[in-house]
Chains A and B, each alone.
Chain A
Amino acid sequence: MRAYTPKDNVQAKPYYTDRFYKSPQVAKFAPQSDEVFNADLEAIKAKFDVLDAFIQVEQLVVYINAKDNYGVLELLKDELEYTQLSEMSAIDWLADRGGFEVFYQMLSMNKRKRIRIKLFIEDGQAVNSVEKLFRSADWSEREMFDMFGIEANGHPFMKRILMPYDWQGNPLLKTYPLQGDEFAALYEVDKIYGKEAREEIGPEIRDTARVDRYDSDRFSRLGHEVPKGTEITGNEPANEQSYQEDGGVFLIKKFDKESSVIIDDPQR
């Protein structure tokens, strides 16, 4: 039986997959193996539900319920000395689990430890904004909203940050193609020339590797150039390519290999 690949993921697929290949796991350790992390985890457990916790690559990962995110981060900041929110964003699991994983990457400078708080939200569910605790969340929550469409409740300015305000679609969703969707292809045409120019100009070509063999403007017919607007038949005569004009150019000597000097020492 052929392995099932989710249809709602349009990202690049591996060219070759061995269906019997079992991928190894990055080692996970029990939180008890580290004193500091264990104490932090106990402090979180005393007040909130912890769904899962382990240490992976020297950092504690704690899974919590989505509604607790503000409380847990407040606890981490005020009592456990995790004074900085280094980074936060989301991971798209819509195809597999119908939702997103949001992570908060916390740093304690006093303890020299990093904790990652993770929570799962359903599609369309919002998270509580932690902007009141960490101002840096102001921008990262906006970025998350921009890229995934996840809203943060209580955020003062929930607008797109990297994409234009009037953009449609969320670029980091797995359902969003790398080259952009139809909206993206026509966005600039609409913006600059108006919707009525769509037919005349056509969608933007976003495949940079595309070569149109009849396009004489893009050097694709090098050596067979014709004036712009000429009807292309495919039997254009070859244009003679010469390095320099016959008879040379004023003051410029024609390159002569015999009379040139080769410098062996690059330092001279």
Chain B
Amino acid sequence: MAQIKNRLTPFFENITFDRDDNELILNFGPQHPSSHGQLRLMLHLQQEQIVKAHPDIGYLHRGMEKMAENMIYNEFMPTTDRMDYIASSSNNYGFALSVEKLIGLEVPRRAKVIRMMLLEINRLMSHLFWLATTALDIGAMTVFLYAFREREYLMDIIEGYCGARLTHAAIRIGGVPLDIQDSFISQLKDFLDKLPANIKDYEDLLDTNRIWLMRMEEVGIVSKEMALSWGCTGPMLRASGVQWDIRKEEPYELYDEVEFNVPWSDKGDNFARYRLYMQEMRESAKILYQTIDMYQECVKNGDTKLMAHAPKYVSAPKLDIMTQNYSLMQHFVLVTQGMRPPVGEVYVATESPKGELGFFINSQGGPYPYRLKLRTPSFWHTGILTDLLPGHYIPDVVSIIGTTNIVFGEVDR
């Protein structure tokens, strides 16, 4: 319908709409502080209630799968840091493990222990970061400051190990590049001894907090069927009544030697997920204590090897490279041309802090993967917003995005 030009009525009354309902389309993001990255949500609203949600992603798409097809395997390792940059060692690990499975490498025990330490520290860092940002979104500034303070200790430990705070690249295909520094164990122990009191602090602030409960309880309920159908993993799945943790069910590294519980809940709401994160931090601490013992056992038994011995795929230790001609030649070839894994396909899933992190590699025997597919948990946890948000109100959007724990480096890759 053409607009009626009438100078007597204000201009906005001249506008005619195609649709005659009260639906308002709200554009949430892509630059919204509580969307934890570049998420754009198109929300169709009836009053304050969402009737349709349409997540739009891709604002951080860097084409990592494409990059992987043009890089040698070791070159891709620092790129994996940029996926889930809150816990980058877990990405490094997922990639390293999948290539090791493809090649059939056995990693030395000491390296395995160090890797487990790094993985669990990363899990703690990720969970603390989750708690801090989600609490901040809801308005709990104190928790944000507390949790970031604890995360800072962990980042210092990691920095001491690999020199980086966020993008660690701390794991290599075939092992780890370095032994842990002298102060690592004592610093970690100090941190772990303090952690229960810290977690209690957070819980004291949040568990019975009226605002927190109102925003969390009975909000964002994900049913078991929905979680399975949407490919949810990690805390998202465990909060919805499936006790599935890859560390427990398909153990990798030395997770079958350590004792820990897999917390789960059948509520499926925001509060259940919050409780799970808190429980998982305690379990991670439990695992870390055990890895410290395992590490000291390694020291006692004289297991000093950190990298697997596989001259076709992994460079020799630095000392050999500097002293032996053959090691130097082999190192030169591996750096300039890259390793050539056998022809075959592998899909390896690991439990990253966010859920199932999978690497699918199709190798055609070349130094570059023929196809590498990154299966990142946050991708599905963003997709589920399509079905999860309708029926909720605008303020719930923020708390739901918070508890899905999505990181956009991982969603867009």
Which A residues fall within an 8 A CB radius of B? 11-12, 14-16, 21, 23-28, 56-57, 59, 61, 83-87, 89, 91-92, 103, 105, 107, 109, 112, 114, 116, 134-136, 138-139, 147, 160-164, 171-172, 174, 176, 178, 267
B358 at the interface (CB under 8 A from A): yes
Given contacts A56-B344, A57-B344, A172-B65, contact A84 B371 (CB under 8 A): no
Which 3 residue pairs spanning A and B have beta carbons closest together? Answer: A26-B344, A23-B365, A136-B231
Q: How far is the CB of A167 from chain B (nearest CB, A)?
A: 10
* Candidates A85, A86, A114, A178; contact of B70 at CB < 8 Å: A178
Interface stretch of the complex, out of B145-153, B165-173, B335-343: B335-343
Given contacts A23-B365, A162-B58, A163-B61, contact A105 B375 (CB under 8 A): yes
Instruction: Give 6 pairs: A residue, B residue, CB < 8 Å, sorted on A.
Output: A11-B70, A11-B368, A12-B368, A15-B337, A116-B345, A135-B387
Of residues A25, A87, A112, which shows the largest number of chain B Cβ atoms within 10 Å of its Cβ? Answer: A87
Interface stretch of the complex, out of B9-17, B222-230, B279-287: B222-230
Given contacts A162-B61, A172-B65, contact A26 B102 (CB under 8 A): yes
Q: How far, in whole Å, are A107 and B364 apart by their CA atoms in the complex?
A: 25
Q: How far, in whole Å, are A164 and B347 apart by their CA atoms in the complex?
A: 29
Q: Is the CB of A59 within 8 A of B70?
A: no
Q: How far, in whole Å, are A134 and B229 apart by their CA atoms in the complex?
A: 5
Q: Is the CB of A25 within 8 A of B249?
A: no
B101 at the interface (CB under 8 A from A): yes
B254 at the interface (CB under 8 A from A): no
Query: In the assembled complex, which residues on chain B have CB atoms less than 8 Å from the CB atom of A103?
Result: 360
Q: Is the CB of A135 within 8 A of B226?
A: yes
Q: Is the CB of B342 within 8 A of A26?
A: yes
Q: How far is the CB of A64 from chain B (nearest CB, A)?
A: 16
Could you list 4 further interchain pairs (A-B, Cβ under 8 angstroms) beyond the known A11-B70, A87-B231? A21-B340, A57-B347, A116-B345, A160-B58
Query: In the assembled complex, which residues on chain A have CB atoms less than 8 Å from the CB atom of B183?
Result: 267
Given contacts A12-B70, A89-B373, A136-B380, contact A26 B343 (CB under 8 A): yes
Q: Is the CB of A171 within 8 A of B367?
A: no
Q: How far is the CB of B166 from chain A (nearest CB, A)?
A: 21
Query: In the assembled complex, which residues on chain B have CB atoms less than 8 Å from the CB atom of A172?
Result: 65-66, 69
Q: How far is the CB of A174 from chain B (nearest CB, A)?
A: 8
Q: Is the CB of B346 within 8 A of A26?
A: yes
Q: How far, in whole Å, are A225 and B11 apart by their CA atoms in the complex?
A: 55
Overall SS of chain A's interface: loop
Q: How many residues of B contact A (CB 8 A)?
A: 56
Q: How far, in whole Å, are A99 and B364 apart by their CA atoms in the complex?
A: 17
Q: Is the CB of A164 within 8 A of B58?
A: yes
Q: How far, in whole Å, are A91 and B340 apart by their CA atoms in the complex?
A: 19
* Candidates B61, B66, B229, B345; contact of A56 at CB < 8 Å: B345
Q: Is the CB of B347 within 8 A of A25?
A: no
B71 at the interface (CB under 8 A from A): yes
Q: How far is the CB of A6 from chain B (nearest CB, A)?
A: 12
Q: How far is the CB of B374 from chain A (nearest CB, A)?
A: 9
Chain B 353-388: CB-based contact to A (< 8 A → 1; otherwise 0): 000101010111111101101010001100110110
* Candidates B367, B371, B386; contact of A92 at CB < 8 Å: B371
Q: How far, in whole Å, are A118 and B371 apart by their CA atoms in the complex?
A: 14
* Candidates A91, A114, A139; contact of B380 at CB < 8 Å: A139
Query: In the assembled complex, which residues on chain B have CB atoms less than 8 Å from the CB atom of A86?
Result: 231, 347, 349, 356, 358, 375
Q: How far, in whole Å, are A87 and B374 apart by their CA atoms in the complex?
A: 9
Query: In the assembled complex, which residues on chain B have CB atoms less than 8 Å from the CB atom of A26?
Result: 102, 104, 342-346, 363
Q: Is the CB of A25 within 8 A of B342?
A: yes
B77 at the interface (CB under 8 A from A): no
Given contacts A57-B102, A112-B250, contact A15 B375 (CB under 8 A): no
Q: Is the CB of A161 within 8 A of B57?
A: yes
Query: In the assembled complex, which residues on chain A have CB atoms less than 8 Å from the CB atom of B61?
Result: 162-163
Q: How far is the CB of B197 from chain A (nearest CB, A)?
A: 24
* Candidates B343, B344, B362, B384; contact of A91 at CB < 8 Å: B362
Q: How far is the CB of A148 from chain B (nearest CB, A)?
A: 11
Query: In the assembled complex, which residues on chain A have CB atoms less than 8 Å from the CB atom of B370?
Result: 91
Q: How far is the CB of B308 from chain A (nearest CB, A)?
A: 17
Q: How far, in whole Å, are A160 and B56 apart by their CA atoms in the complex?
A: 10
| B370: nearest chain-A partner, CB-CB | A91
Q: How far, in whole Å, are A214 and B412 apart by their CA atoms in the complex?
A: 36
Query: In the assembled complex, which residues on chain B have CB atoms less than 8 Å from the CB atom of A112?
Result: 249-250
Given contacts A11-B70, A89-B373, A134-B231, contact A24 B368 (CB under 8 A): no
Q: Is the CB of B346 within 8 A of A56?
A: yes
Q: Is the CB of B244 within 8 A of A161?
A: no
B242 at the interface (CB under 8 A from A): yes
Of residues B66, B226, B342, which shows the largest number of chain A Cβ atoms within 10 Å of its Cβ? Answer: B66
B302 at the interface (CB under 8 A from A): no
| A92: nearest chain-B partner, CB-CB | B371
From 321 to 352 in chain B, residues with beta carbon under 8 angstroms from any chain A beta carbon are: 336-338, 340, 342-349
Q: How far is the CB of B103 from chain A (nearest CB, A)?
A: 9
Query: In the assembled complex, which residues on chain A have CB atoms less than 8 Å from the CB atom of B206?
Result: none
Query: In the assembled complex, which residues on chain A have CB atoms less than 8 Å from the CB atom of B226?
Result: 135
Q: How far, in whole Å, are A136 and B226 apart by their CA atoms in the complex?
A: 10
Chain B 56-91: CB-based contact to A (< 8 A → 1; otherwise 0): 011001010111011100000000000000000000
